[in-house]
């Protein structure tokens, strides 16, 4: 059985859009396809241009009945708004989460914040770098450095292009572009360690190509391999210091090493640097939050643990 008309419409939208990283678009497409299948079954909807608040509200209630957690539902809604922004001449505007809940008297629930420190101890970071280099995995080693010294997400590090490298080496500023989460472009200073990596890898990278992604590979495939590498080897580098600093003292749970934890290290170091310059905590947080692509100083509290 072939795809329905509305599924084809969704596939076409995601085939042509370039906003956001590959991983984000893939995740959003999955949510949107699940949504339109729900709408086909319950509303006989055949045209994505007819997307309306009532469809979103019914979908939310369906997901709640399934026992889906609030964070996942909000992720689904973010995907649907992303898709709606790509639709040519939609018939209706759609409401934000707060308006939907008030209008249809539904409650998505609170999304719990990730509390506690997720940063790596220095010895853990150096140990993982040593393992990656010893095993000849320069891609992982270099992306660990970019995450730690420039605050790049693993997808942003993996997707570095030759054009971005050339600009960074020329200006001292690295531009995070469409690979950024939710497609939010930003600029970050090129770190000395990042400069060394870029200068070493630039001659090995063809024009129009990416540093860590070979021809025919998908970004999410490369990212998955890098994350699997860290997962496979992290037990070898854990330290008492690292485990202690990542332990949630309220519940006794500890957070293990991930690529994302290196952004915590970056934020914590940058906050110290800006405060040492004489900036207030809020002023420092405003600067650093823009560097990591959040633009909200309250998010920095999470990264500070």
Query: What phi and psi values does residue 176 have, to the nearest 5 degrees?
Result: -85, 125
Radius of gyration of the chain (CA): 21
Q: State the average pLDDT for the chain.
A: 90
pTM: 0.67
As a whole number, mean pLDDT of residues 53-61 equals 96
Q: How far is CA 290 from CA 72, 144, 175, 295, in A?
A: 25, 21, 12, 5
Quick one: tokens of 156?
A: 């942003």
Q: 50 pLDDT exceeds 60?
A: yes
The end-to-end CA distance of the chain, in Å, is 50
Long-range contacts from 284-291, C-beta under 8 angstroms, 24+ separation: 290/186, 291/151, 291/186, 291/187, 291/188, 291/189
In the prediction, which pLDDT does 156 show?
Answer: 92
Tens-digit pLDDT profile for residues 164-174: 999 999 999 99
What span, in angstroms and rounded, lies between the C-alpha atoms of 49 and 74?
Answer: 21
């Amino acid at each position: 059985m072939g795809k329905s008309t509305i599924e084809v419409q969704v596939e076409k939208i995601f085939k042509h859009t370039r906003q956001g990283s590959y991983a984000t678009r893939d995740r959003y497409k999955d949510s949107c396809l699940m949504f339109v299948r729900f709408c086909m079954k319950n509303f006989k909807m055949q045209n994505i241009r007819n997307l309306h608040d009532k469809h979103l509200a019914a979908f939310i209630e369906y997901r709640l009945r399934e026992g889906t957690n609030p964070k996942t539902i909000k992720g689904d809604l973010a995907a649907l708004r992303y898709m709606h922004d790509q639709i040519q001449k939609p018939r209706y505007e759609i409401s934000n989460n707060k308006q939907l809940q008030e209008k249809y008297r539904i409650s998505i629930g609170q999304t719990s914040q990730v509390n506690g420190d997720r940063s790596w101890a220095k010895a853990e970071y150096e140990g993982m770098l040593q393992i990656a280099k010893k095993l000849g995995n320069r891609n992982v080693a270099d992306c660990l450095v970019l995450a730690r010294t420039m605050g790049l997400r693993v997808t942003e590090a993996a997707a570095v292009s030759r054009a971005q490298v050339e600009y960074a080496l020329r200006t001292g500023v690295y531009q995070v572009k469409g690979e950024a989460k939710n497609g939010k472009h930003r600029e970050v200073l090129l770190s000395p360690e990042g400069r060394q990596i870029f200068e070493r890898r630039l001659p090995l990278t063809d024009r129009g190509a990416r540093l860590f992604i070979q021809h025919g590979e998908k970004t999410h495939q490369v990212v998955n391999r890098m994350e699997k590498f860290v997962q496979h080897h992290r037990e070898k580098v854990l330290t008492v210091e690292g485990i202690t600093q990542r332990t949630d003292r309220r519940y006794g749970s500890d957070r293990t090493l991930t690529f994302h934890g290196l952004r915590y290290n970056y934020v914590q170091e940058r906050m110290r640097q800006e405060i040492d310059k004489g900036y207030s905590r809020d002023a420092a947080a405003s600067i650093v939050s823009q560097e990591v692509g959040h633009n909200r100083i309250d998010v920095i509290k999470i990264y500070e643990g």
